[in-house]
Amino acid sequence: MRAYDVVIVGAGPAGSATAIMLARRGHSVAILDKEKFPREKLCGDFINPSNWPTLRRLGVAEEVLAASRDRISEFRITSYLGAEARVPLPDSGAGAGYGVALRRSTLDAILLRRAKCDGAVIWDNCKFKTLHRCRDGWSIVVENDQGPDEIVAQVVIGADGRNSKVAHDQGLSRALPRRGDAVGFQLHVKSSYDIAGKIEIHLFPGGYGGMAKIDHNLINFSFAVDRLSLENCGGLEALLSSRVQKNASLKELLRGGERIGPAHSTYPVYFSPRRCYSDRLLLVGDAARVSEPITGEGVYFALRSGVFAGDALHAAFQTGDLSSRTLQSYACACRAAFAVRRGLNALVRFMIYRPALLTPFLRFSARRQQLLNLMVRACCVEDVTRPVAFR
């Protein structure tokens, strides 16, 4: 039976960031994931400029930049009702006024390699089965190609996504909303559509889609649609051939492009945040607070929550107190750091499914960009002026 200070369930950006922060400080860390890496993951494939300070702290910024195919310096949004607005991305506060388009599989592999180099043990292709409290920690049963196995740990981190089994097993889940919720899809399209240097978001009846160039002529088209709109259309193919193509830009992409590989989907795209801490347990990334990151901040939320979790746990190990009372500081740090971004995402989410509201705003922004510039800056610049101290 192997024993670790911390076992992390989930090897995405949040789990790997947590592992890096702990392993480089001398804690024994294991990362478990049911998938064999590298693997594809539904994502917008956009690294927001706000990520650069965190990526530098994790020691992977230069590798991420070297692996990217396209530097993103402009944001463009259109409505199928005819409005359009463009705005340049602001400087992130770290000397970079750009983001990058990067496959999620590449980003995850970079972070996981960094975690391994810093001393974390990687157990991929290893399915998490059960979690039980034991003396001074946890007993975790997993299953891999060799059969069932058992690991013990002082602390468990749930980094296993929006439908977190760790959260469910420990009673930290909430019922999912069934009204006004959305289904997310991802398609890869081989196309000559000119998107170089831009991230684009396009509204269509019942939803919106985002584009990022991830290879020479390969575009990641990720979109979300209201579940009832999808059902009323009769499914994905009918949606793509009718409602989606009411937006001229999306029509150009789909009619002039070749779909590569199958469509990937996730449901629901959004549900309410859940409690993210307990005795000897934390939830990070989507497992902690699932939002619909319309503003391209999904990776930011994941990485920052992982950094906060690593800092909070390191401080807790130093005091020897791993109780929920101590680990509550992690939740407080996340609330303080993400408050403005959460509110902005909620506002944009409300408007983006209501084009009758958003279209006049886009027309106004096309003439006077100050408000749109402020919104984009709030999404793209990390506030690094107030460091978080964990005790």
Contact between 180 and 164 (Cβ < 8 Å)? no
pLDDT band at 390 (very low <50, low <70, confident <90, very high): low
Contact between 40 and 265 (Cβ < 8 Å)? no
Boundaries of CATH 3.30.9.100 in the chain? 182-266
The helix/strand/coil state of 43 is coil
The tens digit of pLDDT for each residue in 165-180 reads 999 999 887 655 444 5
Check residues 96 and 59 and name the one with the higher pLDDT: 59
Range with lowest mean pLDDT among 21-30, 64-73, 133-142, 177-186: 177-186
Residue type, 330: Y
Secondary structure percentages of the chain, helix, strand, coil, to 5 = 40, 25, 35
pLDDT band at 207 (very low <50, low <70, confident <90, very high): very high
Boundaries of CATH 3.50.50.60 in the chain? 2-45+103-175+271-353
Check residues 256 and 100 and name the one with the higher pLDDT: 100
The tens digit of pLDDT for each residue in 282-304 reads 999 999 876 666 777 889 999 99
| DSSP line for 334-376 | HHHHHHHHHHHHHHHHHHHT-HHHHHHHHHHHHH--HHHHHHH
- In this prediction, residue 31 carries a pLDDT of 97
CA–CA dist 221, 186 (Å, integer)? 6
CA–CA dist 90, 75 (Å, integer)? 10
The CATH H-level (homologous superfamily) assignment of domain 2-45+103-175+271-353 is FAD/NAD(P)-binding domain (3.50.50.60)
> Is domain 182-266 given the CATH code 3.90.950.20 in the classification?
no
Mean pLDDT estimate for the chain: 89
CA–CA dist 357, 350 (Å, integer)? 9
